[in-house]
Structure 1
Amino acid sequence: MCGPTVSLCLLLWMVVMRVSRTQGQVAALTAPHAEVGRPVLIGCNLTMQTGETVKQVRWLDRHKRLLLAYLPTVPVRVSHQAPGVQLTASHSDGSHITITTVRPEDEGCYRCVFDVYPRGPLEGTTCIRVNGRVHMEGNQTAVSGKPATLSCRYNLPEKVQQVLWRKTAEQGDTTTVASFTKHGSHKTEEQYRGRVSLSRTLGDTRLTIQEVRTEDEACYTCEFHTYPDGTRRDRACLSVYVLPKPEVSHVTSSPGVGEANCTARSRPAAEITWNVGGDNRTLGPPTASAYEQGDGTTVVTSTLLFHPALLSDVSVQCVVHHPGLEKPLTVSVNTNN
């Protein structure tokens, strides 16, 4: 039977432990939560009477299988060690072990047994609850009009009761996009129907936008509603690019002065430069203007003034740079060159 409960904080590997007394002799340091794929530390402290000696320490799992056995000599003599278990600390009145990579099946209670001479074995019990970990792919960029998929994983799918996706716009407004439950119920909110689909899976969920729009730029949260561990979530943001489609034109604005204009509408704003083959017959550097549109795009126009004879001698090119392009777009003003 367990005696009264006391509290203890053990700062080791950044694990917060709770302490429970067993038989008034062994304080078992209980790690209530352990994360799949990460290490967890468990331990026991022993209270001995004068003249007593620990002859051996044993650790057993929830199936009463031996995990670790050693003699607390200097140096320690290990007689049995299961894979994935390490002796982290051993002293005259305590023992701490580490399960190096937690698995779902590691959930349960573990026994620490101190073989004490002359009294006999004294033991404590420490229990682990295993939690899953959510992993979402990082921030993504999509091109307007193209599909985009956001993926999210939870490595304890058997505990998931529902998967739910939420969208948080730049202004801070949050809306529910779609959900799927363990019992097969699937729901997509009305404003997203017809262009957003959600995979009917629990452990590996994928939200696909068939044709991305600028208003889809937002941060998306995947939520795994689990039992009994509650809600686990992660978030990533989607940026939407509108690629530029440059247009060029040229006129003679006044006698002896030619004017070339290059315009590109995009998201984010494009950068426009000019390539005039190294010729110096331009009339000063180009000038640029930018105008934000209501749909989130920006129209950039660059104007180049030059001597009209320039077009008959060299190629004059508008060069448009944009982060969504693998290489800049080049459009010639004088298409015959």
Structure 2
Amino acid sequence: MTMAVPTTLWIYLMAVYISGSNCQMVQMDATKSGYVGSQVELRCLFMNIPGVKISQVTWQKFLNGSKQNVAIVNPTMGVSVLNPFKERVTFKLQAVQEKTPSLEDTTIVFSNLQLSDEAAYICEYTTFPAGNRENMVNLTVFARPEIQMIQSAPTIVAQSSSLKVSVATCLAANGKPPGVITWETTLKGEERTEEIPHSNGTVTVRSDYFVIPSREMHKQKLTCIVTYNNDTTKDTIILNVQYNPVVKIEGFDGNWYLNRQDKLGLTCTTEANPPVTHFEWRLLNGSMPAGVEIRNNTLSFKGPVTNDLTGTYVCEATNSIGTRSGQVEVNVTEKPLPQGVSGETIGIVGGVVAAGLIAGVAVVVFLVYRRQQKTRTERDNELTDLPPAHKLVPPLRRNTDFKGHLTSDDIQVFHPDKEVEEMREVDLHPPYYDMASSFSDKLDSDPKDHDVQYAELDTSVLASSPCPRSSILSGDLVEYATIQPSL
């Protein structure tokens, strides 16, 4: 009896210690994830301490508030994996299944993951004397989408209307989470995308690409890009667009002249999808000339050239989509064009000549402009170099106190004929004369401020002047006077 108390006290203290350190005893990852069909490990480690005995380990699936046993390990009973996990769940370590098992590591391995495996999983240890200890891991299961790209219709026909049609469909089926679809192409089109959810949690994404079909789209690439969890998958198709024939007639060089002896002919070239199956030749407003041989898309003329070959030749080409035609106007001349000269060559030469004329006119305009600029500059320089006596003297400051009337003594008349010789020595443009010099004596003798004013006089006023007037310039006589204030 004396030994029972210490033993009971020891068990109680051990239980209290283990209860306080429960979160450290069972160690697991907080979250794990895997893809459908892949394999994933769910780690469970028991941090044992001396005196604690493991009597059983139980794995449980916890979903929507209920628990379902997955696997059980008992040192006496051995290992048991329950349905529906029996074929897909195993313990990682072989030591767990031995007669004397080691249960500190009871990690399990899920193989061939399924969407239904997504849940929380509990690893529970039954111990003595600590009781039950457990931890939990959340398992997420991803589903990679099944990517498929198909041509929406077996036949895409170019059309003249503005109606848009779907030319390709890209699917990212049964993805969890859903994939993201984008398009890569040089085509001018429109994408329309929708998401279709499923009961198992997956989503199918469908994207259709719409265009207005045209001949230019034939053999163009259209690429669907699916992005899923930072992974990118591409799928490309090449469009097969069917269209009417595009017809062109070749062979006429613009130099068919009378009695030309070499073999001549016309060829009907086409671009079509599907290929042209039938050609038909005809001559507008007439029948084919004699000696013409027709073979599918070629028209051959036998014998020398005559005026009978003149006319408009039409080639009709037909495929399963429709019929289209092309034509060429054949003209026969009396004499051949100069050797090596054709309509195309004449056009090129004409273009070069026109360009040369334009360039020549531009150069002439530029030179004339420069010449005018130079003449103007030289004329300005000549005026700048004139003697001071022939430069226009700016008016002096006006004396606002000046008041009075003009008398005959106040007017000094300038007669150009008295200064002819002096003015001829200087080329004036236009002639100037210093009219301020007449006041120089008075201004020097009297420091008072005087005004000098200029006026253009009517010559009729001075008609009675005794001094004869003459002008060295042609045209009307313009006379200037200096108006002096009374002193």
TM-score (norm 1): 0.55
1:247/1:264 contact within 8 Å kept: yes
Q: Which has the higher contact order (CA 8 A, sep 6+)?
A: 1
Match of 1:320 among 219, 226, 232: 226
1:297 aligns with 2:202: yes
Q: Per-residue displacement from partner, 1:149-192 (whole Å, max 9, x unpaired)?
A: 111111107532211111012x3332111110233521111322
1:245 aligns with 2:146: yes
Match of 1:156 among 48, 60, 67: 48
Between Structure 1 and Structure 2, which shows a larger proportion of strand residues?
1
Who is 1:135 aligned against? 27
Q: Per-residue displacement from partner, 1:18-49 (whole Å, max 9, x unpaired)?
A: xxxxxxxxxxxx9974469xxx9xxxxxxxxx
Who is 2:86 aligned against? 193
Alignment of 1:110-149 (within 5 A): 133-149=25-41
Q: Per-residue displacement from partner, 1:50-106 (whole Å, max 9, x unpaired)?
A: xxxxxxxxxxxxxxxxxxxxxxxxxxxxxxxxxxxxxxxxxxxxxxxxxxxxxxxxx
- Is there any run of 5+ residues in structure 2 with no aligned partner, and where? 1-12, 97-101, 241-487
For 1:138 and 1:208, how far apart are their aligned partners in 2? 16
1:272 aligns with 2:171: no
Identity value in percent: 22
For 2:22 and 2:231, how far apart are their aligned partners in 1? 48
Q: Could you say if the C-alpha distance between residues 226 and 31 of structure 1 is closer, same or farther in structure 2, counting changes exceeding 3 Å? A: closer
Match of 2:71 among 171, 178, 191: 178
Q: Could you say if the C-alpha distance between residues 141 and 311 of structure 1 is closer, same or farther in structure 2, counting changes exceeding 3 Å? A: farther
Between Structure 1 and Structure 2, which shows a larger proportion of helix residues?
2
Give the aligned length: 210
Match of 1:281 among 172, 177, 188: 188
- Which secondary structure does the structure 2 equivalent of 1:316 belong to? strand
Q: Could you say if the C-alpha distance between residues 248 and 280 of structure 1 is closer, same or farther in structure 2, counting changes exceeding 3 Å? A: closer
Who is 2:108 aligned against? 207
Q: Could you say if the C-alpha distance between residues 304 and 226 of structure 1 is closer, same or farther in structure 2, counting changes exceeding 3 Å? A: same
Given residue 213 of structure 2, which amino acid in structure 1 is its aligned partner? P
1:179/1:198 contact within 8 Å kept: no
For 2:74 and 2:66, how far apart are their aligned partners in 1? 24
Q: Could you say if the C-alpha distance between residues 33 and 131 of structure 1 is closer, same or farther in structure 2, counting changes exceeding 3 Å? A: farther
For 1:290 and 1:253, how far apart are their aligned partners in 2? 29
RMSD of Structure 2 on Structure 1 (CA):
3.2
TM-score (norm 2): 0.39
1:272/1:302 contact within 8 Å kept: yes
Q: Per-residue displacement from partner, 1:212-241 (whole Å, max 9, x unpaired)?
A: 111111110111111111111111111111
- Which secondary structure does the structure 2 equivalent of 1:192 belong to? coil
- Which secondary structure does the structure 2 equivalent of 1:223 belong to? strand
Match of 1:232 among 129, 133, 145: 133
For 1:235 and 1:153, how far apart are their aligned partners in 2? 12
Q: Could you say if the C-alpha distance between residues 210 and 280 of structure 1 is closer, same or farther in structure 2, counting changes exceeding 3 Å? A: closer
For 1:328 and 1:151, how far apart are their aligned partners in 2? 31
For 1:213 and 1:300, how far apart are their aligned partners in 2? 21
Who is 1:70 aligned against? none
For 1:153 and 1:330, how far apart are their aligned partners in 2? 43
